[in-house]
Amino acid sequence: MHLSYLDFSIIILYLILSFSIGLWYARKAGKNIQEFFLSGRNLPWWLAGTSMVATTFAADTPLAVAEIVYQNGISGNWVWWNALIGGMITTFFFAKLWQRSNVMTDVSLIQIRYSGKEARLLRGFRAIYLGVFMNAIIIGWVNVALITILQVFFDISYANALYITVACMLFTAFYSSLSGLWGVAVTDAIQFVIAITGCIILAILVVNSDKIGGIEGLKNKLPPETFHFFPDFSVQQTGKTMVIGIGTFLTYIGVQWWAAWYPGAEPGGGGYVAQRMLACKSEKDSLWATFFFQVMHYGIRPWAWIIVGLCALVLYPDLKGEQVKFGYVYAMRDFLPNGLRGLLLVAFFAAYMSTIATQLNWGTSYWINDVYRIWIDKTDEEKRLVWASRIGTFGVMLVGVFATLNIQSIKSAWEFLLNAGAGLGFVLILRWYWWRISAWSEIVATVSPLIVYTFLRLTLPSLDASTVFATVAFGTVFFTLMATWLLPQTDSKVLQTFYDTIQPNGFWKPFSKKSVSGKYFLWNTVGVFMGITVVYTGLFTAGAILLGQYVSALQYGATAFFAILILIYLNRKHNLFQ
């Protein structure tokens, strides 16, 4: 596949634009590390929210969604749709608390919430674990996805695709090391618009091609259950597999959203989502940014990817194993004319760079704030810390390149991350609302999933993935509660300071004269349910319209409308979004 001069022109203009933004924000980012990692805590909600959305749209995302649809139909997307539940809880219960904490990174919270050497050890361990190990895996699989796209699209060797990917990563590291989070957030907004526009154009071209014949042609060429939004008992009884099972669905919505730590979907907020919340200029902006992220990520964006995934089932029916993810790239290769090839490549480069820029900035923030300035250089000289941050950005990049060379499968890396964090979400939620949670609780919750999951895989290799996940989640929850009750408690002075700073509701009776606020939990819980209803029904309304299911679209749309009215009422009467 060759690119025209128009295609090359589009790519070059995009690179010049990204580099120019990096230069524009270089001076502001160089003032101090608050500016470099948190934009001086002055991001407006719409920019912070868009940056979250752009970060979750990596080069691998359309490929992963197309692969899910290819294997399990539309309902297979519950593997990630379920995370909306935790995301909406983060919106209404945790966004304001993160703002009040005034910490630099989410792991910095450890030393204002816990006490003793165990807190110091946990902070350092989590910084390295997340900033190096987990971050490298994420960067690695995003790189592998871009390599795959380049290989298939241009029919080039792995080595040549790797060279292009590393060059793109180096370019991203350069502009993000100059501009800090300001430049990352602004380029994220531009990159998201480009990326989603390209994906929508591809979906329109493919579904309206002669080989598909529009939505009606697509529906006539695939089994009906492929288009189901939910599991179907009758389909399972006939032995067909183009829809997920009810057991898998219940695991997703009953366990996974609260039990697992996963990048961008951490229960209670964390990672780069916490970074964006901390970077907002007010509690209100933090809440609105997180709400906007949930709406865009789960409710607005998925259908452009899903439609191409459904078309791939018709166009490339013989794909198997690791080849399944190639369906999306084959569609790009086969259905894009000159000019639009360049646009789609820019869309994927934009998706890639928005994720990599965040991973580099976010990962480096752990190194500088939670390792370097705590264990190595305690002078707190801002200029030195900024330069260390810029150098550290390239260090994180090199670790990501190493991970790229050692990741064989995007799917296996994704499954490892999911299971490595199973059960951790339980303690990340409770630490805000129950004083008894200690550093030992979090240490056990971090380590036990790895031990339990490894043991189960070695002794019972035939276990279904959903069964393993549930077992790990409940196993680690049990170990975490044991550690909470049996191991040393957090110092009472630290807990009192934390309570006075954060003012959390919940079980803080030894440190608060106030009783648990039933109204706070009631109205925020109603807000969570209504937010979830708005996003899911909005998602299904759009899907039903696209698929010509107009009666269902009317039902979903009416439900979404009434849920929005309830949210407006709650905001007026109980200041839900204030």
Percent of the chain surpassing pLDDT 70: 92
Average pLDDT of the residues in 515-522: 75
Residue 234 in this model has a pLDDT that exceeds 70: no
**What is the pLDDT of the chain when averaged over all its residues?**
85
- Tokens 């939620």 -> residue: 429
Q: What is the pLDDT of residue 246?
A: 77
Among 188-192, 209-213, 227-231, 242-246, whose mean pLDDT is lowest?
242-246
Among 229-243, 249-263, 344-358, 401-415, whose mean pLDDT is lowest?
229-243
Q: What is the pLDDT of residue 233?
A: 60
439, with CB counted inside 10 A (0-12, 13-18, 19+), is buried
Average pLDDT of the residues in 211-227: 90
HSE toward the beta carbon, residue 145, CA cutoff 13 A: 32
How far apart CA 77 and CA 561 sit, in angstroms, is 24
Residue 51 in this model has a pLDDT that exceeds 80: yes
Q: What is the pLDDT of residue 90?
A: 92
CB 99 within 8 A of CB 286: yes
C-alpha distances in Å from residue 450, one per residue of 122, 281, 325, 472, 476: 16, 37, 28, 9, 10
Residues 465-476: tens digit of each pLDDT: 566 667 777 777
Closest CA to 56 of 291, 293, 267: 293
CB 37 within 8 A of CB 177: no
User: Which pTM does this prediction carry?
Assistant: 0.90
Residue 329 in this model has a pLDDT that exceeds 60: yes
How far apart CA 95 and CA 418 sit, in angstroms, is 23
Helices and strands of the chain, counted as H and E runs:
29, 0
Residue 71 in this model has a pLDDT that exceeds 90: no
More confident residue, 155 or 123: 123
How far apart CA 231 and CA 516 sit, in angstroms, is 38
Residue 563 in this model has a pLDDT that exceeds 70: yes
Residue 239 in this model has a pLDDT that exceeds 50: no
Which residues have a Cβ under 8 Å from the Cβ of 100 and sit 6 or more positions away?
A: 283, 501, 502, 503
More confident residue, 516 or 15: 15
Residues 426-463: tens digit of each pLDDT: 888 889 999 999 999 988 888 888 787 777 777 776 66
Write out the two tokens for 552. Answer: 């269902």
DSSP label of 297: I
Residues 110-123: tens digit of each pLDDT: 989 999 899 999 99
How far apart CA 64 and CA 563 sit, in angstroms, is 31
Residues 296-318: tens digit of each pLDDT: 999 989 999 999 999 999 998 88
C-alpha distances in Å from residue 117, one per residue of 128, 432, 440: 17, 21, 11
Which residues have a Cβ under 8 Å from the Cβ of 215 and sit 6 or more positions away?
A: 207, 546, 547, 548
CB 403 within 8 A of CB 139: yes
Instruction: Specify which residues 43 forms β-bridges with.
Output: 280
CB 179 within 8 A of CB 24: yes
> For residue 237, what pLDDT band results from cuts at 50, 70 and 90?
very low
Distance of CA 291 to the CA centre of its chain: 14
- Tokens 């709650």 -> residue: 570
3-state secondary structure of 507: strand
Q: What is the pLDDT of residue 238?
A: 45
Mutual orientation of helices 45-56 and 158-207 as an angle, nearest 10°? 110
> For residue 16, what pLDDT band results from cuts at 50, 70 and 90?
confident
Which of 80-94, 348-362, 439-453, 514-528 is modeled with the greatest confidence? 80-94
Q: What is the pLDDT of residue 279?
A: 93
Residue 338 in this model has a pLDDT that exceeds 90: no
C-alpha distances in Å from residue 363, one per residue of 47, 181, 289, 396: 20, 12, 21, 7
Residue 203 in this model has a pLDDT that exceeds 90: yes
Residue 45 in this model has a pLDDT that exceeds 80: yes
How far apart CA 302 and CA 162 sit, in angstroms, is 28
